[in-house]
């Protein structure tokens, strides 16, 4: 609390004003009711007010003051922590530092806020900002001291900054400099400034320490989140790498059949294959629209029909309103390939594969159904084991794992099969996949 030269802080002055108001009101009431004794009433009122002022002057209000200090430091810290978390997920840089400084300045009662890394100023807002341009090297030895020691420092006058700039007319006189620590290393500083020198209120020191600690924790959480995303992307890359060689090998085998007997057909099929991989190579990210995935499938079906002729029939039941929604790339094509190779191929006579996409609540359900030979009950528990079977395990397990990584365990593949009567494989993609697509790509 700031005291005036008579020793009264704001809390005591408010209390004196309240007592004076009440005493005056009582004096007026009695003056109206008993006008003949006004001299006695006036004297008593004045003595009462004077006595109250003297008592308040020397009575310590420590308990109330301490409570206010704790509240004043605690509440802004929580608000700041809540609002800064989304920005720190992007790391500590000039853009995120400025957003964080704006939040701190808005919520806290300080003259200026600065954030640095170990070498330069990332953000400076408030009084004197023209003297501390963003991007410039740190110019105070006090800041370097905090970076080197990792200890919070309170600067009570301008000379303690030990500024390296000569003839600087900066209006800032005092500050709290707190280290930003991430994984045990000082990565920068947070500075809360005031334009007056001398003692810095305890709540400002607590506020700086609390904010710095929370920012450090949030940076660690952001780093863990970033590492988790990198691991997920690495897993997706590894799984994706399994699909293209697998599909290429099967397709080249099909084309090889026509090179000698039907070279023109082989040429057209090679054009289809080139078109397929042109899409794949030009694609960015791991998501694709349902419409584009169906183009992939069409090229694959043309190649397979060249091999199987009338034995293979493919039908589609696609809700056209869903064509522009995003799904993970190459999730449907491996299911179609699996249906043809392990459902229709071993079957005697003609077989049909149906590809469907429809809306189920707030998710897109995509299914591939064949009327082939089905899956034997003994084999069913093994179909998601990587490498199981001749191609079957790679395709199904690959798609199954990618869907779970992206959307959670409940969004993997679902398989329903009756031995001798066909198989249905289906999965659901939430509409939030559009947001996931933007984040990962």
Helix or strand (DSSP H, E) at 102: helix 94-107
Same domain, 368 and 426: yes
State the average pLDDT over residues 150-168: 83
Rg of the chain, C-alpha, whole Å: 37
pLDDT digit string, tens, across residues 33-82: 666 656 666 666 666 666 666 665 555 444 333 334 344 444 555 555 55
The answer to whether residues 262 and 326 belong to one domain is yes
- 329 three-class SS: coil
Measure the CA–CA gap between 253 and 423, rounded to whole angstroms: 25
What share of residues in the chain are helix, strand, coil (percent, to 5)? 55, 20, 25
Residue 332: name the closest of 287, 377, 363 by CA: 287
Specify whether 359 is located in the same domain as 377: yes
Rounded to 5 degrees, φ, ψ at 90 are -90, 0
Residues 260 and 386 in one domain: yes
Q: Are residues 69 and 188 in the same domain?
A: yes
Question: 27 and 78 in one domain?
Answer: no
**Same domain? 276 vs 330:** yes
Distances, alpha carbon 109 to alpha carbons 75, 76, 87, 114, 143, in Å: 12, 9, 22, 14, 21
Residue 325 lies in a domain: yes
Residue 299 contacts residue 273 (beta carbons within 8 Å) = yes
The CATH number assigned to the domain holding 132 equals: 3.30.450.40
Whole-number Å distance between alpha carbons of 328 and 407: 10
Highest mean pLDDT: which range of 18-27, 226-235, 355-364, 376-385: 355-364
* 191 and 116, same domain (yes or no): yes
DSSP state, residue 267: H
Q: 148: phi > 0 → left, psi -120 to 50 → alpha, else beta; which?
A: alpha
Give the count of domains, the chain.
3
Whether residue 3 lies inside any domain: the answer is: no
- Indicate whether 230 belongs to any domain: no
Range of the domain at 49: 10-59
Last residue of a domain, one of 201, 225, 249: 225
Cα 12 from chain centroid?
A: 46
CB 78, CB 33: distance < 8 Å: no
- Of the candidates 217, 171, 211, the residue with the CA atom closest to the CA atom of residue 194: 171
Which of 171, 202, 225 is a domain's end point? Answer: 225
55 and 74, same domain (yes or no): no
DSSP-derived 3-state class of residue 405: helix
CATH number of the domain within which 338 lies: 3.30.565.10
Which tokens belong to 24?
A: 């005056």
Q: Identify the H or E element spanning 255.
A: helix 202-256
Q: Are residues 38 and 138 in the same domain?
A: no
Q: What is the pLDDT of residues 324-360, one digit of tens each?
A: 888 887 789 889 988 998 899 899 899 999 999 999 8
pLDDT score recorded for residue 229: 62
Query: What would the mean pLDDT of 283-302 be, rounded to a whole number?
Result: 81
Average pLDDT over residues 245-271: 79
How far, in Å, CA of 210 to CA of 136, rounded?
Answer: 26
Select from 319, 322, 440, 423 the least CA-distant residue to 377. Answer: 423
Quick check: is 1 in a domain?
Answer: no
Q: Which residues contact 95 (CB under 8 A, 6 or more apart)?
A: none
5 in any annotated domain: no
What is the predicted pLDDT for the residue at 67? 35
Query: Is 321 strand, coil or helix?
Result: helix
Q: Torsion angle of alpha carbons 197, 199, 200, 205, nearest 10°?
A: 140
Please check whether residue 231 lies inside any domain of the structure: no
Residue 151 clears pLDDT 60, i.e. is over it: yes
**Both structure tokens of 238:** 């590894």
* Mean pLDDT score, 191-214: 84
Neighbours of 295 (CB within 10 A): 14
The per-residue pLDDT for 1 is 41
Q: Which of 171, 190, 225 is the last residue of a domain?
A: 225
Confirm whether 92 is domain-assigned.
Answer: yes
Residue 2, in any domain of the structure: no
Does position 84 have pLDDT exceeding 60, yes or no?
no
Token pair listed for 337: 């390939």
Contact 276, 296 (CB under 8 A): yes
Same domain, 389 and 245: yes
| Residue 285, pLDDT score | 63
The residue with greater pLDDT, 124 or 66, is: 124
Q: Indicate whether 260 and 215 sit together in one domain.
A: no
Bridge partners, residue 417, by sequence = 423
User: Which pLDDT band holds residue 372 (cuts at 50, 70, 90)?
Assistant: very high
**Residue 437: pLDDT band with limits 50, 70, 90:** very low
């Amino acid at each position: 609390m700031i005291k005036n030269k008579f020793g009264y802080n704001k809390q005591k002055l408010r209390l004196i004003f309240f007592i004076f108001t009440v005493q005056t009101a009582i004096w007026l009431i009695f003056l109206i009711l008993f006008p003949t004794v006004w001299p006695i009433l006036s004297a008593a009122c004045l003595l009462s007010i004077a006595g109250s002022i003297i008592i308040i002057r020397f009575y310590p209000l420590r308990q109330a003051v301490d409570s206010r200090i704790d509240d004043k430091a605690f509440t802004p810290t929580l608000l700041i922590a809540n609002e800064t978390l989304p920005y720190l997920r992007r790391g500590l840089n000039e853009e995120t530092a400025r957003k964080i400084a704006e939040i701190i300045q808005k919520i806290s009662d300080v003259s200026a806020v600065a954030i640095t890394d170990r070498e330069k100023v990332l953000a400076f807002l408030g009084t004197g900002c023209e003297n501390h341009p963003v991007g410039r090297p740190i110019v105070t030895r006090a800041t370097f001291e905090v970076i080197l020691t990792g200890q919070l420092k309170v600067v009570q006058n301008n000379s303690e900054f030990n500024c390296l700039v000569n003839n600087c007319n900066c209006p800032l006189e005092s500050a709290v400099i707190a280290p930003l620590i991430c994984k045990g290393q000082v990565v920068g500083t947070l500075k809360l400034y005031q334009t007056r020198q001398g003692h810095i209120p305890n709540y400002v020191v607590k506020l700086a320490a609390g904010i710095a600690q929370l920012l450090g924790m949030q940076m660690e959480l952001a780093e863990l989140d970033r590492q988790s995303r990198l691991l997920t992307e690495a897993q997706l890359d590894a799984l994706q790498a399994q699909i293209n060689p697998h599909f290429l090998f099967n397709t080249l085998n099909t084309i090889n059949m026509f090179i000698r007997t039907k070279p023109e057909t082989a040429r057209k099929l090679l054009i289809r294959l080139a078109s397929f991989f042109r899409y794949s190579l030009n694609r960015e990210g791991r998501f694709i629209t349902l419409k584009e995935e169906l183009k992939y499938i069409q090229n694959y079906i043309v190649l397979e029909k060249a091999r199987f002729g009338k034995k293979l029939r493919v039908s589609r039941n696609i809700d056209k309103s869903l064509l522009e929604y995003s799904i993970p790339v190459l999730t449907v094509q491996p299911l179609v390939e699996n249906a043809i190779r392990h459902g229709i191929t071993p079957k005697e006579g003609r077989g049909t594969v149906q590809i469907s996409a429809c809306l189920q609540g707030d998710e897109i359900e995509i299914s591939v159904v064949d009327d082939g030979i089905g899956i034997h009950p003994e084999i069913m528990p093994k179909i998601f084991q990587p490498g199981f079977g001749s191609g079957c395990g790679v395709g199904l397990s690959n798609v199954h794992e990618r869907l779970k990584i992206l959307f959670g365990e409940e969004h993997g593949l679902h398989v329903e099969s009756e031995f001798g009567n066909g198989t249905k494989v289906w999965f659901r993609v939430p509409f939030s996949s559009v947001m996931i697509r933007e984040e990962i790509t």
